[in-house]
């Protein structure tokens, strides 16, 4: 098992963290990960992460929900068990579609939301009973941690991080 060294720089304010991320990226260091107790707006752009494609997946999942709703209502209310409800004709889906709009909307939102959550958990590899990968429990409360790999530049990196306002800097041996 090969071990490598990483530096954990801990911050106690999200604004200081954002400024530090920008300074570290400007100095051409690669930030492996940032752990925060809450989402920090703009952190993904400051780190240079690629934009997410979850919105495209949500649209496709919504289309699946709309299709399921349309096929389901056509089968149930028109083909399998036609009923005269409130004087509406039961021989044509298109004539009944205004009455079906709330169901179409609800199933579109239902499928989109639930499949999007499942996709997020699978892409993030966050399945049930998974061990937490959080290196410091304080980052679930009120601290922010920036993890940077060390490649023979330990002193320069530590001095840069201390200039950015880190309250604590630790050198950690991390197993791959």
Question: So what's the pLDDT on residue 176?
Answer: 55
Question: Can you tell me which residue has the tokens 């720089």?
Answer: 9
Question: So what's the pLDDT on residue 175?
Answer: 66
* Beta pairing partners, 159: none
Question: So what's the pLDDT on residue 156?
Answer: 87
Question: So what's the pLDDT on residue 3?
Answer: 54
pTM for the complete prediction?
A: 0.71
Q: Is 174 helix (H, G, I), strand (E, B) or coil?
A: strand
**Residue 90 clears pLDDT 90, i.e. is over it:** no
Question: So what's the pLDDT on residue 1?
Answer: 41
Half-sphere exposure of 109 (CA within 13 A, CB side): 5
Grade residue 33 by pLDDT with cuts at 50, 70 and 90. Answer: very high
Question: So what's the pLDDT on residue 16?
Answer: 93
Burial of 50 (0-12, 13-18, 19+ CB in 10 A): exposed
For 1-62, the DSSP string reads: --EEEEEEEEES-HHHHHHHHHHHHHTTPPEEEEE-SS--TTHHHHHTPPPP-HHHHHHHHH
pLDDT in tens, 112-131: 999 999 999 998 888 888 88
Q: How many helices (H) and strands (E) does the chain have?
A: 5, 4
């Amino acid at each position: 098992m090969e071990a490598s060294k990483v530096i954990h720089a801990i911050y106690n304010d999200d604004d200081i963290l954002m400024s530090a991320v920008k300074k570290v990226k400007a100095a051409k260091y690669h930030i492996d990960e940032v752990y925060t107790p809450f989402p920090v707006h703009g952190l993904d752009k400051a780190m240079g992460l690629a934009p997410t494609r979850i919105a495209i997946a949500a649209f496709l999942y919504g289309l699946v929900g709309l299709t399921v709703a349309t096929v389901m209502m056509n089968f149930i209310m028109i083909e399998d068990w036609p009923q005269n409800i409130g004087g509406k004709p039961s021989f044509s889906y298109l004539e009944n579609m205004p009455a079906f709009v709330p169901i179409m909307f609800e199933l579109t939102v239902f499928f989109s939301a639930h499949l999007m959550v499942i996709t997020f958990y699978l892409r993030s590899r966050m399945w049930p009973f998974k061990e937490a990968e959080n290196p410091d429990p304080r980052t679930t409360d009120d601290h922010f941690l920036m993890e940077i790999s060390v490649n023979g530049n330990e002193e320069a990196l530590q001095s840069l991080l201390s200039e950015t306002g880190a309250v604590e800097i630790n050198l950690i041996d991390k197993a791959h």
